[in-house]
Structure 1
Amino acid sequence: MSHVLGALINGVGIVVGSLIGLLWGKHLAEDFRGQALKVIGLFVVLIGLKMAWPLPDPINTLLSIILGAWLGSALQLDRRLEHFGAWAESRVGQSGFAKGFVAGTLIFNIGAMAILGALQDGLTGKFTILATKAVLDGTTAIILTSVAGWGVMAAGVVTALYEGALSLLAGDLSTVLKGVLLTDVTVVGGLMIAAIGLNFILDNGVIKIGNLLPALLFPVLLLWLKSHGLEFL
């Protein structure tokens, strides 16, 4: 239960936000909606920095981020995620439920924060990221439901199932990812969370988070190289 609590909180946050959106969403000023998301973005930055600090191995962290960004850019992960979202939306008709359901599912699940939050919950038992994401998604659900309809609420169930499955999988890996390796992965994830927060604050998000996802794999590779005598890393 502890490994899926964050996913459940996130799902509930979306459902509650959707209910508020159905009842009062259209009465909220556009300026307030934008400001609320920016304030939450600032909070996300602080959470990411807290996860990353203090940097136990700055060189490994920097290498992981740079190599991850290089691989993600080469694979064009961010663009592929965007294209997948656009494709999925184009396959859905204009019915109120389908439009809200697909839009909500894509917005809440395609992105680094869902993956990083599930990893944190499964590996460490903490759900700070997913709890923060619940507030973010709940706020987004208020706005989205007022435009796209009640299908957004059903997307909360999908989100809970998706993140819960990832958390359980990460929990199985927690016996392998111990000590230094777990710390390195957490630091890299924290910097990515801070980048997500910056994208919320900036009007035109300039950091392609999808391209950074491979960075989570490089602490494993770098630790393996160190164990085989490459101490200069």
Structure 2
Amino acid sequence: MPIGVIINSFVIIFGGFAGAFLGDKIPERLRVALPLTFGAASMGMGIHLIGEMHMLPPVILSLIIGSAIGELIQLEKGIEWCARKIQSPIEKIFSSKSNIDQEQFMEQFVGIIVLFCASGTGIFGSLNEGMTGDFTILLSKSFLDLFTAAIFATALGYIVVTVAIPQFIIQFSLFLSAGFILPLVNEHLIGDFSALGGIIMLVTGFRICGIKSFPVANMLPGMILVMPISSLWMFIFG
């Protein structure tokens, strides 16, 4: 049973509802300062994961090709389109509106989708639980996700709750496929995979902090490509 996956999704739902319900009751200084802290945490985790890299060329190649694919299929714009479609019904159901303008709303919403769904901790934690039954990695991630969801929901509203859906689908799929994936990879491939996830988390932190709006969602196809490219690179160059 995917206990860690369920807990991780539940805390986003709980944190999103709690943050949206409390809204303006949370002091302004917290609502402004904590997202910056979460952005800094994302950058810190990203730097840590980049340090696990085994080979630089396949990671960079995967990032470039993946970003090109993401741009061509307009992945980020697709996420934004879905967000706009569900934003209005949710605001009508809960009689609430986000506290920020639409452009800033999209900036933060896409950022938290990547932060929740594409973090190296969540991906590896799901694979690890599926293989070993140990859900402590996802449990640790859940503590951070609880407060992250709550704080972002004070600005974005109840729509933050919906992020639990793609996260659950991704993590549950990884949980089910762990038995097939992990025997086929080694620590070098996992290290390159984590490093690419770290790069994406690093630029996600920049985006959340408002430093630079990287198209982080368009980089996500690189996560699918990095292990095959890294494996091919090792086969050719040793």
TM-score by length of structure 2 reads: 0.73
Residue 70 of structure 1: which of 61, 68, 71 is its match? 68
Query: d(CA) in 1 for partners of 2:182 and 2:152?
Result: 32
SS of the aligned residue for 1:182 comes to: helix
Q: Which residue of 1 aligns with 2:133?
A: none
8 Å Cα contact 2:52/2:194 also seen in 1: no
SS of the aligned residue for 1:19 comes to: helix
Q: CA deviation at 1:38?
A: 0.4
Query: d(CA) in 2 for partners of 1:35 and 1:10?
Result: 25
Query: d(CA) in 1 for partners of 2:170 and 2:232?
Result: 31
User: Are 1:140 and 2:152 matched, yes or no?
Assistant: yes
Query: d(CA) in 2 for partners of 1:152 and 1:41?
Result: 16
Residue 207 of structure 1: which of 205, 214, 224 is its match? 214
The structure richer in helix per residue is 2
Q: Give the count of matched residue pairs.
A: 218
Q: Which runs of 5+ in 1 are unaligned?
A: none
Q: CA deviation at 1:170?
A: 4.7
More displaced, 35-44 or 112-121? 112-121
More displaced, 120-129 or 182-191? 120-129
**Taking structure 1 as reference, are residues 174 and 97 closer, same or farther at Cα in structure 2, changes over 3 Å only?**
farther
Q: CA deviation at 1:210?
A: 0.8
**Taking structure 1 as reference, are residues 161 and 199 closer, same or farther at Cα in structure 2, changes over 3 Å only?**
same
**Taking structure 1 as reference, are residues 26 and 64 closer, same or farther at Cα in structure 2, changes over 3 Å only?**
same
Residue 162 of structure 1: which of 156, 162, 169 is its match? 169
User: Are 1:96 and 2:93 matched, yes or no?
Assistant: yes
Residue 114 of structure 2: which of 107, 112, 115 is its match? 112
Residue 55 of structure 1: which of 22, 30, 53 is its match? 53
User: Alpha carbon RMSD of aligned pairs, Å?
Assistant: 3.4
Residue type of the partner of 1:184?
A: D
Query: d(CA) in 1 for partners of 2:67 and 2:204?
Result: 14
* Offset from partner CA, 1:121-157 (integer Å, 9 cap, x none): 2224433555433331122234445xx5xx866x487
User: Are 1:192 and 2:200 matched, yes or no?
Assistant: yes
* Offset from partner CA, 1:189-225 (integer Å, 9 cap, x none): 111111111111116x511111000111222332343
**Taking structure 1 as reference, are residues 192 and 124 closer, same or farther at Cα in structure 2, changes over 3 Å only?**
farther
Residue type of the partner of 2:206?
A: L
**Taking structure 1 as reference, are residues 160 and 61 closer, same or farther at Cα in structure 2, changes over 3 Å only?**
closer
Q: CA deviation at 1:164?
A: 4.5
Query: d(CA) in 2 for partners of 1:161 and 1:54?
Result: 26
**Taking structure 1 as reference, are residues 134 and 162 closer, same or farther at Cα in structure 2, changes over 3 Å only?**
farther
Query: d(CA) in 1 for partners of 2:33 and 2:58?
Result: 36
* Offset from partner CA, 1:152-184 (integer Å, 9 cap, x none): 66x487477435524423534333333322221
TM-score by length of structure 1 reads: 0.75
